[in-house]
Structure 1
Amino acid sequence: MAVRVTQNMLNNNMLRNLHNSMRNMDRLQDQLASGKKIAKPSDDPVVAARGMFYRSSLMENDQYKRNIDEAQSWLDMTDSTMDEVGNVLKRIKELLVYSGDGAVSPDDLKTMGSEVQELKNHLGSLANQQINGKYIFAGTDTNKAPYDATANGGKGDFVSTNSSLIDLEVSQNVFVTSNINAQKVFNYPDNANNLFKKLDGIITELSNGRNAMQFQTAIDQQYDKLLAERASLGASVNRVELIAERLNSQGVNINKLMAANEDADMAKVMTNLKTQESVHSAALGSGARIIQPTLLDFLR
C-alpha cells in the first residue's frame, strides 16, 4: 500500500535534518573552542567515567607526592642534624685524648671542661631541632621538646621517652618512616647512662682539673651508635627518593592517559567541521527546492 507523502511531511523532515546538522556543527564548534571531546557527561558517559577515574588517581598521586616531600624534608633535616651531632662528638673525642696529655695543666683542663659544657648545650639545641614547628627527635610527641635544659638538677637532660615512628602513606598501603628513634641516639643505652649524663661526668672531671680519659670508650660507643643510625637513615632516604621518582613518572603517565581520553583531535575536528558545513549548505539548498512554491513566486 502506497503512503501518501504530503508537503508537511517534507517540511518536517527537512527541518529535522537541518536541526541535526546544526547540532552536529554546534558539537564540533564546542570541541574546537574547548579542545575537549565532551562538554557534559551525557555526550559520552564512557569518556566521562574514565575522566573521573583519571582525575581521582591524579589527586591521590599529588597527595602522595606531598607526603613524600614532607618525608624528604624530615629525613634531610634529621640527616644534617645528626651530621652536626657527629661533629660535636668528634670534637669531644679530641678533647678527651688531649686531656690525657701529661703536659696539660689543670687550668687547661678546666678550660676544656668549659668547652665541653658549651658542646653539651649545643647538643641540647640539636636534640630540640624543629621543622615546621615540630620536634624531629621527639617521636610522635612532636609538640614537646625532648631536651629540657632544667632537668637533672639544672644540668639539662634528654627527657623524652617516646620511641614511636611517624609513618606517611606514599602509595596505596605503602608507608615510609619520616623520623628516627631518637632514643637510640640521645638516650643510649638508657636514660641513666645517656649521652648527656656522660658529658656531665666529663665536665665534672675536667672542671676539677682531672683528665677524662676514662670516658673515651663510652663516647666511642655513642659515636658508633650514631653512625649506625645514620646508615639506617641513609637507606630510608634512598628509598624515599626512589618512590618520589616513581610518583613523578606516574603523574606524567596519568596526565597522558587523561589527555588521550578527553582531548579532541584538533585536525580531525576541523576536517569534520568543514565537512559538516558543506553538508549543511547542501541541506539548505535541497530544502529550498522542497518548499512548495506559492502564488507569490509566480507573480514576481
Structure 2
Amino acid sequence: MALPVGEDRTTLFARLGSRGCDIGHRTSLRDVGSLSLATLGARCAAVERVGGTPSAAATTLSLHAEQSRNNQYARNIDDGLAWVTAADSAISSSVTLLRRARDLTLQGANDGALDATAKEAIAVELEGIREELLANANTSILGRSVFAGTSDAGAAFTADGTGGYAFTGEPGSSVQRRLSDGVTVRVDADGAEVFGTGPDSVFALIDDIVADLRSGQNVAAHVGRIDERSTSMLSAQGAVGARQSQIERAKGIAVDTSVSLETRRAAVEDVDSVEVLVQLQAQELVYRSALQVTGRVLQPTLMDFLS
C-alpha cells in the first residue's frame, strides 16, 4: 500500500508513536524501513490492545517469561541429547570391538593350530582394537569428555608412560541438564564403570592378552575377563539409553508446550490484519485530504520569493 504524499516510513513511524503507539519497543528506526504499512499498523494495534487492559498486559508478560523459560529448557534438551547420543555411540562401538577381541582371543588360545606368526597377527589386530577403545573412551563434546564427569580434562583416559592408563575423570561426579521445572537428568557416563581403571581397565586387559600371545602363553583365561567387561559396558549402555529416551520424551513435551504458549500469546497480542489495514486506509485518506487542504491554503506568493 502506498504511503501518504510527502511521508516515508520513518515519518509514519514517528507519527504513530506520537499517537501513543509505542511500536518502537521492539522495532528500531533502522528496521522500520523494511516493514510494510500494514505490519506497522498491526504492531501499533497490538500494543494498544494489550496496553489498554492491565490484565492482558500481565498475561502477556507472564507468557513471554514462560516462553523464555521453555526455550532455555529446549536448548538444555538439545545439548543433553548430544551428550547421551555421543556416549551411547561410543559404548556401542566399544561393545562391538570387545566382541571382536573375544573372537580373536579364542582363536589365539588354539595353541596347536597357530604358529608364532599367526599369533603375532592376532596381537597386532588386538593392539588396533585397544587404540579404538581408547579413542571411544575419550569421546568429547565441545572439548569436554563424556566419560570424565565434571573434570575439565580433554581426555578421560591417558597412557601413563609405564604401560598403564590413568583415569582423569572426577570420581563420583556427573554432568546434569535441567529438562523442565524440577526435572534434571544425567547426560554423561561413568568412564571408570564403562572401561574400568588401572589393571582392571579394558585397555590393560587387551595389553595382557597381547603380551601372553607374544610370550607363548595360553590366553583362554582372558575370555572370562572380556565377558565381565562386556557385561559392564552393556549395563552402562542400558542406563544411557534409558536417559536418552527420557530426554527425547522431554523434547516432545517442550515442543508441545512451545506451540501452546505461542497460541495463548497470539490470542492476547495478535490482531486482525484485515481490520487493521482497513483502519489504516481510512486514516491515510484523512491524512491525504489534510495535506491537500493545507497545500491549497498555503499557496506560495511573490513575497515568498522576495524574502
1:115 paired residue number = 125
Offset at residue 46 of structure 1 (A):
1.8
User: Following superposition of structure 1 onto structure 2, how do residues 81-230 of structure 1 map, counting pairs within 5 Å?
Assistant: 81-101=90-110, 102-149=112-159, 151=160, 153-160=162-169, 162-187=171-196, 191-230=198-237
Query: Match of 2:184, SS?
Result: strand
Distance 1:126 1:31, change over 3 A: closer
Q: Deviations over 1:136-171 (max 9, x none)?
A: 11111043422112x160454444352311111111
How far apart, CA to CA, are the structure 1 residues paired with 2:144 and 2:116?
42
% of aligned pairs identical? 23
Number of residue equivalences: 249
Structure 2 residue aligned with 1:236: 243
Q: Distance in 1 between matches of 2:102 and 2:129?
A: 12
Give the 3-state SS of the residue equivalent to 1:148 in structure 2.
Answer: strand
**Residues 157/215 of structure 1: CA separation in 2 closer, same or farther (3 Å cut):** farther
Question: Which residue identity does 1:50 align to in structure 2?
Answer: T
Structure 1 stretches of 4+ moved >4 Å: 26-32, 266-271
Q: Deviations over 1:46-87 (max 9, x none)?
A: 221111111110010000000000000011111111111111
2:157–2:165 CA contact under 8 A, matched in 1: yes
Amino acid at match of 2:178: E
CA distance in 2, matches of 1:155, 1:30: 71
Deviation for aligned residue 1:208? 1.4
Name the counterpart of 2:25. none
- Residues 76 and 179 in structure 2, CA contact (< 8 A), matched pair in contact too: yes
Structure 1 equivalent of residue 80 of structure 2: 71
> 2:69 is matched with which residue: 44, 60, 64?
60
| Secondary structure in structure 1 of the residue aligned to 2:185 | strand
2:63 is paired with a residue of what secondary structure?
A: helix
The residue type paired with residue 65 of structure 1 is A
Do the aligned partners of 2:60 and 2:265 also contact (CA within 8 Å) in 1? yes
The answer as to whether partners of 2:50 and 2:269 remain within 8 angstroms in 1 is: no
Larger CA deviation: 57-66 vs 224-233: 224-233
Over 3 Å counting, the alpha-carbon distance change for 1:115 and 1:161 in structure 2 is farther
CA positional deviation for 1:267:
5.4
One-letter identity of the residue aligned with 2:134: G
The amino acid that maps onto 1:123 is L
The separation in 1 between residues aligned to 2:133 and 2:256, in whole angstroms, is 40
1:44 is aligned to 2:44 = no
Per the alignment, residue 33 of structure 1 pairs with 41
C-alpha distance in structure 1 between counterparts of 2:142 and 2:96, whole Å: 25
The farther-off stretch of 31-40 and 101-110 is 31-40
Which segment is superposed worse, 222-231 or 36-45? 36-45
- Output one character per residue of 1:74-117: Cα deviation in whole Å (capped at 9) or x when no partner: 11111111111111101100111101222011221122112212
Bigger Cα Rg: 1
Structure 2 residues not aligned, in runs of 5+ = 1-15, 22-36, 287-307
**Which runs of no fewer than 5 residues in structure 1 stay unpaired?**
1-22, 281-300
SS in 2 for 1:168: strand
Give the distance between the partners of 1:31 and 1:48, measured in 2 at CA: 21
Deviations 1:187-208 (A, max 9, x none): 1xx5342222222211110121
The one-letter amino acid paired with 1:33 is G
Contact kept in structure 2, 1:185 and 1:229, CA below 8 Å: yes
Partner Cα separation in structure 2 for residue 166 and residue 160 of structure 1:
12
User: Within the alignment, does 1:255 sit opposite 2:262 as a pair?
Assistant: yes
